[in-house]
Chain A
């Protein structure tokens, strides 16, 4: 048993729902107890969908247990087919139905519907949401895609499938638009985009494209492998997330198709490189960043952070174990050990110990960072309603690079603002009590008075499970009052780091008390 408050991923049948909801003409009959329909509201609320997900639940209750549940399932399949007239159907069990051992696959096939019915085996007690989505997509390809002869690519426009975007995907809607435009400008036709917006008939004709673009390896990696095997289609696996990765992606597509990359690279395809080189960005140099989320977004974000914004990545990790190897390798390149965990308390401990200046993560890290008073931007699912925006905001391609720059730099204090804060730090408007406007600080509690060690974690309603004293490495070290006062002259957004460095320095020097001198000795020791 695993003690859990927050879970980064839902169960695997929610992954299957993400595929079904992304598509049209496909219906999912889920053998599940009353209550599992809660998952509908993820789609109708977070994504604001104006239609119910194409999912029928059997919603069995205690009185139905026994042979009755099998009958319920059959009725649900027949009714769903009659009402929704789908082109194809997927059927399976949720975690509870898995235990009662009705056989959805066998029962659905026995009904003999005139459409393809694809059974799903999603082991709920081992696997999670992303795996469920990947497996569902793979099974659709395996059952529906037809193998066709393709003419040689030379002498005509090449075509590709874009694979991986789903419902409830982080910015999938806009990534598809951006990458579709990019490929079309390169001279590549989009054959099918799937699962988002596709029908089962579209899945059937996937095999006619020249190659596949795997936008989200977590979801489309397995399906693309299946297509390689069945139809001999090569896959482009560079994820075009970030300016450099987009260039690499273009080059990979061109190498595969023989197209010339020059037309799309000419001119100024993205403002990001110049924004990052303009003098106001000098202050971003060496900003210490912690990156956490799904593997694909984390690996891409770490590259953007180091190569394109000049940050220093001080910690990185992911919650989806299936891609742990890739994240470990990317972390090793930066001299780091990856944190692979789905326990948010471990992530919180890591962030508290590292005291980064920026956190890039999911909704969960946003809340951890808020509590630790560290700026943060969201780069990955799980996300909440505000990260499914009305405006165009891709993460991928050249416009995506622009979006990343704005989104990540916004929570940081910009260069000029930081300079002014230093100049006027004793001014009443910039005092601690004024709070941090860029953190939405109007609601933040005033920092502790001089007598109590600052900074203390704020905005923690109720008692935290993990009471990590933020930034305190060794608690037995005593701060002299004058050193404590001096520490408080340092702006709050770097004070945590200063406290941590000074204490570490004191430990190394074997000091029991930290005075003003120790503070500046440590500053000089750690100056970069």
Chain B
């Protein structure tokens, strides 16, 4: 088989497939699924995301979206008020009024998502019925769907999973004799999506679709002849919904780094009967480019230890990439949710010394991090500056979700995201922040 070609080096003995996982409950320092809107709306160009929630929800999205909020983005919040909760107004009438007003102002919108939040879930506002009613009312101009991005049900990137899973029933049934097609699942930056399309075309794979599509009109059909590749590790529900429609998931590493990307592309090549030599010829230039570029970053990262706080579910594949292709040492890899099926090829490739943790008790995890004193800690923006002040170098994790990081030609950019904070630490004189320097000194004496 072509395992030797696909994997750059042999798998470590044991790996992390059988390692016991530290499962914790406690305070979780994570985003809720509403945050997914911030990147999803950029990808789906004729969709609008209307959160039905509280002022907190509006404030969250505003804080997460930063400057983007001012570009008149295609998302908003219908803030529930006292009178909505007290039953003084019919919440459904209110929702209809808000949606009418919104659609009248934005006639370019073809797809409207009603996004559930914690408050709307707790008061059991039936948004799926509302979506059905509004869909009928505004048909055929606008389709109205719903999903939940609430914190009680979803963590950060799971918002994308819930959104895409809501799109699956909207995909037409592919005819039984349909040509075998490949579906890439997960919102990728356009530039990355285009790179993958070129590679698949060069392999001779005829039809390649994406979920989500850039426009709702281009939503592909699905059926037993659909083979799909999941591009992101957080799409469990979407994969299950596709499998329920007869589509078949192709098991692969996630396309991070030269190795991950090769394996991911190879899964499709095998499913579509692409000749092995042809596959090698198609991927070789990109793979060599990636390897060459990674060699330049490697000295900055090799031998450095890394600690992942849970955030996006990207942690396991990223730790695999950093340890195998750049020589980093993952101490703890935290993830909000460990999807064993989708990570089946990833886990054996992690060093067996890695501690896997699922869920979070943030104060205890911070204790472990301080104890371990990793060279680099990957964490959210609520923890990053406080850890820096304690003398620990950090990489803020949200950037990994917003930046183009998949595929051969982004492999070195991805590595660079981790190398930059270490580089900066080395450039800046410690003398400038005496308190911080003292802490670091005290820590290194221990």
**B152 lies within 8 A of A33 (CB):** yes
Judge if B34 is at the interface, Cβ distance under 8 Å. Answer: yes
**A37 lies within 8 A of B82 (CB):** no
| A56–B386 alpha-carbon span in the complex (Å) | 15
Judge if B95 is at the interface, Cβ distance under 8 Å. Answer: yes
Judge if A184 is at the interface, Cβ distance under 8 Å. Answer: no
Judge if B276 is at the interface, Cβ distance under 8 Å. Answer: no
Judge if A44 is at the interface, Cβ distance under 8 Å. Answer: yes
Which of A6-21 touch B at CB < 8 Å? 6-7, 9-11, 13-14
Q: Which of B119, B121, B382, B389 contacts A95 (CB 8 A)?
A: B119
* Cβ distance B388 to chain A, nearest Cβ, rounded Å: 7
Given the interface pairs A42-B63, A76-B27, A100-B122, the reply to whether A4 lies near B54 with Cβ below 8 Å is no
Q: Which of B28, B63, B70 is most buried by chain A, counting CB atoms within 10 A of its CB?
A: B70
* Cβ distance B149 to chain A, nearest Cβ, rounded Å: 9
**What 0/1 pattern do residues 198 to 220 of B give for CB contact below 8 A with A?**
00000000000000000000000
Tell me which residues across on chain A come within 8 A of B84, comparing CB atoms. 1, 125
What residue in chain A is nearest B60 (Cβ atoms)?
A38
Judge if B69 is at the interface, Cβ distance under 8 Å. Answer: yes
Chain B contributes a number of interface residues (CB within 8 A of A) equal to: 67
**B54 lies within 8 A of A367 (CB):** no
**A1 lies within 8 A of B78 (CB):** yes
* Cβ distance B114 to chain A, nearest Cβ, rounded Å: 12
Which of B47-79 touch A at CB < 8 Å? 52, 54-56, 58-60, 62-64, 67, 69-79
**A34 lies within 8 A of B62 (CB):** no
| A364–B72 alpha-carbon span in the complex (Å) | 12
Given the interface pairs A5-B73, A36-B151, A51-B386, the reply to whether A10 lies near B82 with Cβ below 8 Å is no
**B106 lies within 8 A of A462 (CB):** no
Q: Which of A13, A38, A94 is most buried by chain B, counting CB atoms within 10 A of its CB?
A: A38
Judge if A465 is at the interface, Cβ distance under 8 Å. Answer: yes
Tell me which residues across on chain B come within 8 A of A50, comparing CB atoms. 385-386, 388-389
Judge if B363 is at the interface, Cβ distance under 8 Å. Answer: yes
Judge if B155 is at the interface, Cβ distance under 8 Å. Answer: yes
What residue in chain B is nearest A459 (Cβ atoms)?
B71
**What 0/1 pattern do residues 288 to 321 of B give for CB contact below 8 A with A?**
0000000000000000000000000000000000
- Among the listed stretches B97-105, B134-142, B167-175, B176-184, which one makes contact with chain A, having 4 or more residues with CB under 8 Å of it? B97-105
Judge if B80 is at the interface, Cβ distance under 8 Å. Answer: yes
| A39–B57 alpha-carbon span in the complex (Å) | 11
Tell me which residues across on chain B come within 8 A of A6, comparing CB atoms. 62, 69-70
| A210–B181 alpha-carbon span in the complex (Å) | 80
| A39–B85 alpha-carbon span in the complex (Å) | 24
| A20–B6 alpha-carbon span in the complex (Å) | 54
**A4 lies within 8 A of B381 (CB):** no
| A304–B77 alpha-carbon span in the complex (Å) | 36
Judge if B8 is at the interface, Cβ distance under 8 Å. Answer: no
**What 0/1 pattern do residues 366 to 392 of A give for CB contact below 8 A with B?**
010001000000000000100000000
* Cβ distance B104 to chain A, nearest Cβ, rounded Å: 11
Judge if A461 is at the interface, Cβ distance under 8 Å. Answer: yes
Tell me which residues across on chain A come within 8 A of B31, comparing CB atoms. 35, 38
* Cβ distance B37 to chain A, nearest Cβ, rounded Å: 12
**A49 lies within 8 A of B386 (CB):** yes
Tell me which residues across on chain B come within 8 A of A11, comparing CB atoms. 54-56, 59
Judge if B29 is at the interface, Cβ distance under 8 Å. Answer: yes
Tell me which residues across on chain A come within 8 A of B34, comparing CB atoms. 35
Tell me which residues across on chain A come within 8 A of B59, comparing CB atoms. 7, 10-11, 14, 39
**A463 lies within 8 A of B78 (CB):** no
**B60 lies within 8 A of A95 (CB):** no
Judge if A83 is at the interface, Cβ distance under 8 Å. Answer: yes
Judge if A458 is at the interface, Cβ distance under 8 Å. Answer: no
**B108 lies within 8 A of A463 (CB):** yes
**B56 lies within 8 A of A460 (CB):** no
Chain A contributes a number of interface residues (CB within 8 A of B) equal to: 62
**A58 lies within 8 A of B27 (CB):** yes
Tell me which residues across on chain A come within 8 A of B62, comparing CB atoms. 6-7
* Cβ distance A387 to chain B, nearest Cβ, rounded Å: 14
Q: Which of B118, B384, B389 contacts A33 (CB 8 A)?
A: B118
Judge if A268 is at the interface, Cβ distance under 8 Å. Answer: no
What residue in chain A is nearest B151 (Cβ atoms)?
A35
**What 0/1 pattern do residues 223 to 262 of A give for CB contact below 8 A with B?**
0000000000000000000000000000000000000000
**B385 lies within 8 A of A44 (CB):** yes
Q: Which of B72, B77, B97, B386 contacts A4 (CB 8 A)?
A: B77
Tell me which residues across on chain B come within 8 A of A76, comparing CB atoms. 27
Judge if A41 is at the interface, Cβ distance under 8 Å. Answer: yes
**A52 lies within 8 A of B382 (CB):** yes
| A7–B47 alpha-carbon span in the complex (Å) | 22
* Cβ distance A45 to chain B, nearest Cβ, rounded Å: 5
**B101 lies within 8 A of A44 (CB):** no
Judge if B268 is at the interface, Cβ distance under 8 Å. Answer: no
**A126 lies within 8 A of B82 (CB):** yes
Tell me which residues across on chain A come within 8 A of B73, comparing CB atoms. 5, 462
| A39–B381 alpha-carbon span in the complex (Å) | 10
What residue in chain A is nearest B78 (Cβ atoms)?
A1
| A408–B75 alpha-carbon span in the complex (Å) | 33
**B363 lies within 8 A of A83 (CB):** yes
**B381 lies within 8 A of A45 (CB):** yes
Judge if B380 is at the interface, Cβ distance under 8 Å. Answer: yes
Beyond contacts A3-B78, A4-B58, A460-B71: 5 other A-B pairs, Cβ-Cβ < 8 A, are: A34-B152, A37-B382, A40-B382, A42-B63, A79-B26
Interface of B toward A, CB cutoff 8 Å = 26-35, 52, 54-56, 58-60, 62-64, 67, 69-82, 84-85, 91, 94-95, 97-98, 101-102, 105-106, 108, 118-119, 121-123, 150-153, 155, 363, 380-386, 388-389
Interface of A toward B, CB cutoff 8 Å = 1-7, 9-11, 13-14, 33-42, 44-45, 48-52, 56-62, 64-65, 76, 79, 83, 94-96, 99-100, 123-126, 128, 364, 367, 371, 384, 460-466
- Can you show 18 pairs from A to B with CB atoms below 8 A apart? A5-B73, A5-B75, A10-B59, A14-B56, A33-B152, A34-B28, A34-B32, A35-B30, A37-B382, A41-B382, A50-B386, A51-B386, A61-B151, A96-B56, A125-B54, A125-B80, A125-B81, A462-B73
- 4 residue pairs, one from A and one from B, having the closest CB atoms: A35-B32, A35-B151, A50-B389, A40-B382
